[in-house]
Amino acid sequence: MTELLENLTNWHWFILAVILFVLEVFAPGAVFMWIAIAAAVMGLILSLFTGISWEYQLFLFAILSVASLFVWRKIAAKHPLESDQPQLNRRGMQYVGRTFTLEEPVVNGRGRIRVDDTTWKIEGEDCAVGETVKVVKVDGAVLQIEKI
């Protein structure tokens, strides 16, 4: 094993970078791309400075990997991804502001409401069947309502 490490060249780092990029293709969203960038930079450094020992190569690779992840986090924080469906994984939030007519009464502050193809638990002031309510907030899987 130490023989392989002692003979590390820039091509080993470039091959590692390609392998990591391929892994990123098959596991998108992982951190392989940023580590692959660090491996490619390490290959470039070894192209310029050929006499670096394997210990320093691994140490520098570790530093470059961590640095590339920090740089990515800074960039991602300044430029968040925008979605055409921002409430996709927070389904209840898409109902805030909508009004519904009750098919079941709200008794003791609790009830149920049919929304599209789903039944939701609701909480709010007591209401009779047929009254119109508005969803004002979502608390987990419970819609908070108020009378209109």
CATH of domain 91-147: 2.40.50.140
φ, ψ of residue 28 to 5 degrees: the values are -65, 145
Domain boundaries, the chain: 2-78, 91-147
- Better-scored residue on pLDDT, 70 or 76: 70
* pLDDT score for 111: 93
pTM summary value: 0.56
The pLDDT of 71-92, averaged and rounded, is: 79
Asked if 34 and 67 touch (Cβ cutoff 8 Å), the reply is no
* pLDDT score for 95: 87
pLDDT digits (tens, 9 = 90+) for 14-43: 999 999 999 999 987 778 999 999 999 999
